[in-house]
Amino acid sequence: MMEIGLNHYLVLSTILFAIGLVGVMRRKNLLLLFFATEILLNSVNIAFAAISHYYGDYTGQMFAFFVIAIAASEVAVGLGLLIVWHKRHGNIDLDSMSTMKG
């Protein structure tokens, strides 16, 4: 209990991943949906860093760096698209984007 091992971190990462999944499934506002995806990416980063520490390997940290880079670019492009959609339609609800017509 007092000795923190790899399993503690993996369980924590899984709990956070489940919270993010609940957020993705119940959110209707697209901005808050983006928040939930950030939670998903961060929970995976914890698992990568923990495995990197307990196996004495740098690969996990490298993957965490690339995940952070991808998350940053995802936010930039996603918010740009969201701003365009909001200027056109006046809302960012997920239900209003059910059709593919521009």
Partner 1 sequence: MFEAIAFYLFAFLTIAMFFITVTTSQALYALTALASGMIFISAFFFILGAEFLGAIQIVVYSGAVMALYAFGMMFFDTTRDVKEKQGNKMIVSGLSVLSAVLVVVIFAAPMVSENITALYPIAEGVGNTQGVGMVLFTKYLIPFEVAAIMLLVAMISGIVLAGKKMDLSLTMMSDAEIRDMKLDQTKKVLS
**Interface positions, 17-36, toward partner 1 (CB under 8 A):** 17-23, 25-29, 31-32, 34-36
Nearest alpha-carbon partner for 29 in 88, 97, 77? 97
Query: For residue 56, is it left (φ>0), alpha (ψ between -120 and 50) or beta?
Result: left
DSSP state of 94: G
Please state the closest distance from residue 96 (CB atom) to partner 1, in A. Answer: 12
Helix (H, G, I), strand (E, B) or coil at 27: coil
Judged by CB under 8 A, how many residues of this single chain contact partner 1?
72
Site for partner 1 in 38-97 (CB under 8 A): 38-39, 42, 45-47, 49-50, 52-53, 55-59, 61-62, 64-66, 68-77, 79-84, 86-88, 92-94
Least distance CB 32 / partner 1 (angstroms): 6
Euclidean distance between CA atoms 13 and 23, whole angstroms: 15
